[in-house]
Structures are given as structure tokens and as C-alpha cells.
Amino acid sequence: MSALQGKSIVVTAGPTIEPIDPVRFLSNRSSGKQGYLIAEALAAGGANVRLISGPTCLPCPNGVERIDVETALDMLAAVETALPADAFIAVAAVADWRPASKQARKAEKAAQGASLDLVENPDILATIAQRENDRPALVIGFAAETHDMLDRARAKRLRKGCDWIIANDVSGDVMGGDENAAWLIGQTHETEWKRAPKKTIAENLAAAMDAHFSSR
């Protein structure tokens, strides 16, 4: 029997959107595909999966409970509400910044240009990884990089305080595409996953988590 059976796992996926006014927002190119496939693979292994998703066009995976959010603040609140859990996987591409205030009406186009005051969003991965009372036993982050991928991912794992980090190069067609290549980086091990369908990457991660929990 899979060691994932009955495990409670929280997964974030997709982008967040940060409203400027009722029409405009800040966001990114994340499609949510990799996170949804990870949730699906974990559920297929018997885990109880809560998928906290930013706006996507994807159907909810079979056997997964999906919680829809929009902003980074919404996503953090939903993750904290979903705890305690055995594992947390931060796949979502959370916007780093949000407008300092949302305008109630559509902003008019400025003839001489315009400026936008921004404030930093909470770091969801670091917040969960550094919790004292109900930190999940396994916290996994993603490092979407365009250069110096492995070095930046290793540094990010230490900085955030997570157990594993998945490094992938997004300088090509990964965001929105159907394939990915990645490295699983832990404290004492690094494993390369060659370019393959995102479903295969998800299954690789589920297998690694199964092995991890089996050894405990």
C-alpha cells in the first residue's frame, strides 16, 4: 500500500491576481498545469489533497478538494486554514507585489503616464516552512528560474526553510506548456528529472514523497 494513503497534503497552484482597479490586475503566466497534475498524482496514491488554486481554466482533478482564491493574501489565508497537514507543496506562482490600494473605479488613462505604488506580498512558502506549532512534516517549494538554476534553487531552499525544492528552468516554454524538466533538491540529495510531460514530473514527485513517508 502506498505510504501516501490517508496523508493530508495541501497544494497551491496557478497564478495569483492582484487588482489595480475593477478592470486591471497584476499577474503572471502560470497556467496551473503542473500543480493540478501534482494534486492528481497524490490523490491517485490515496492522499487527501486540498488544492488551493488561483484563477485557471483547468477542471478540478478527480478526488481532490479545490479551494479557489485570487490574491496572495487570499491564498495564504486558505493555506493556513487548511493546516494541520502532513505535507505542503507550494507550486503556485504567487505575485511578489500587489498595488498598495485598489481603486474603486476604473483608472483613467493618464496623458503623461502614471505610477503605481506597490507593496510586497507575503512569502507563503517561507511562512509555512517556518511555522512553529503546526508546520507540515514535509514542506516543498518550487524555484522557477531563468538562469543559474541549481545555485539559485539551493539558496532558495535554505532561505525559505523548506525541506525540498523543485528547480525548473522557465526561460523557454515551460509556463503554459505541457512539458517540464526539473531537479528535486533536498538537504542531502539531488535528483534530476529529464524533460517529460508534466504528468510524469508530477508522478515522479508523488513517488519521491511515497518513498519519503515509507522510510519514516
Q: Is there a contact between 157 and 172 (Cβ–Cβ < 8 Å)? A: no
User: Which sequence positions are flagged as catalytic?
Assistant: 28
Q: Is residue 201 very low, low, confident or very high in pLDDT (cuts 50, 70, 90)?
A: very high
pLDDT of residue 110: 64
pLDDT per residue over 136-166, tens digit each? 999 999 998 889 999 999 999 999 999 999 9
Pairing relationship of beta strands 164-169 and 179-185 according to DSSP bridges? antiparallel
3-class state of residue 128 by DSSP: helix
What is the rounded CA–CA span in Å between residue 70 and residue 14? 10
pLDDT of 181 above 80: yes
pLDDT of 173 above 80: no
Please check whether the domain covering 8-98+118-214 is classified as CATH 3.40.50.10300. Answer: yes
pLDDT of residue 194: 95
pLDDT per residue over 124-137, tens digit each? 999 999 999 999 99
pLDDT per residue over 22-37, tens digit each? 999 999 989 999 999 9
Q: Is there a contact between 86 and 7 (Cβ–Cβ < 8 Å)? A: yes
CA 73 to chain centre: 14
Q: Is residue 112 very low, low, confident or very high in pLDDT (cuts 50, 70, 90)?
A: low
Q: Average pLDDT of the chain?
A: 94
Residue 146 CA: distances (Å) to CA of 78, 116, 153, 180, 193 = 29, 26, 11, 13, 17
pTM: 0.94
pLDDT of residue 171: 77
Q: Tell me, what DSSP letter sits at residue 108?
A: P
What is the rounded CA–CA span in Å between residue 182 and residue 163? 16
Closest CA to 89 of 182, 197, 21, 196: 182
The share of the chain scoring above pLDDT 70, in percent, equals 97
